[in-house]
Amino acid sequence: MQQERQSGNAESFSRKSGTLMSKQFLPIGEVKSVKIQVVQYKDLINENKEQAIRFEYEHYDSYLDQTETKLGSLDKDELEGLIKSINIMRTVVFNSFPEHYTEVGYVSRTGFKAGCYSMPGDWKFYLQLDQYDDRSYIWLTKEDSATILNILDQSNERLLMLGNNVD
């Protein structure tokens, strides 16, 4: 039985009834075919806004011979926690050598995950766009974590600009 993922604050805002909602997708960067965007939701009736970080990945299912779009999101107030988590993975976790198999991970409200797990003498890094969908994993290298951090820093700058109404 597949569990249903929870909505984040921005997603809930975007589905609010009685609104005329605009969704603007601002591309920030890409790593290993994962597109990272800032999404701004705007209620055109009362001018309220909400932003989120959106991760998009095209997964090819060889069994069905088709491509599925996998999506993950992160509320703007969770971005700092993700950035700190990846920094800790890079500076502390990747430099450790656990005796036993170890997993380390960050999970957002919506079920987006960023994490790593130990292999003999090394660590493997990943993103999972939906914690209840095994086909939403993106396997990355430790070096890719630096690229993701750079993109997330750019996303943070864009969110600050949007918060100051500079489009």
Q: What percentage of the chain reaches a pLDDT higher than 90?
A: 57
- Whether residue 162 is predicted with pLDDT greater than 90 in this model: the reply is no
Give the bridge partners for 128, in sequence order.
113, 137
- The 10s digit of each residue's pLDDT in 37-71 is 999 999 898 888 889 999 999 887 777 788 889 99
Q: Which amino acid is at 130?
A: D
The per-residue pLDDT for 2 is 47
d(C-alpha 65, C-alpha 60), whole Å: 7
Cβ atoms within 10 Å of 142's Cβ, excluding its own: 15
DSSP string, 58-101: EEEETTTTEEEEEEEEEEGGGHHHHHHHHHHHHHTGGG---SS-
Between 79 and 2, the higher pLDDT residue = 79
Query: Residue 29 is inside which H or E element, if any?
Result: strand 21-31
What is the reported pTM?
Answer: 0.84
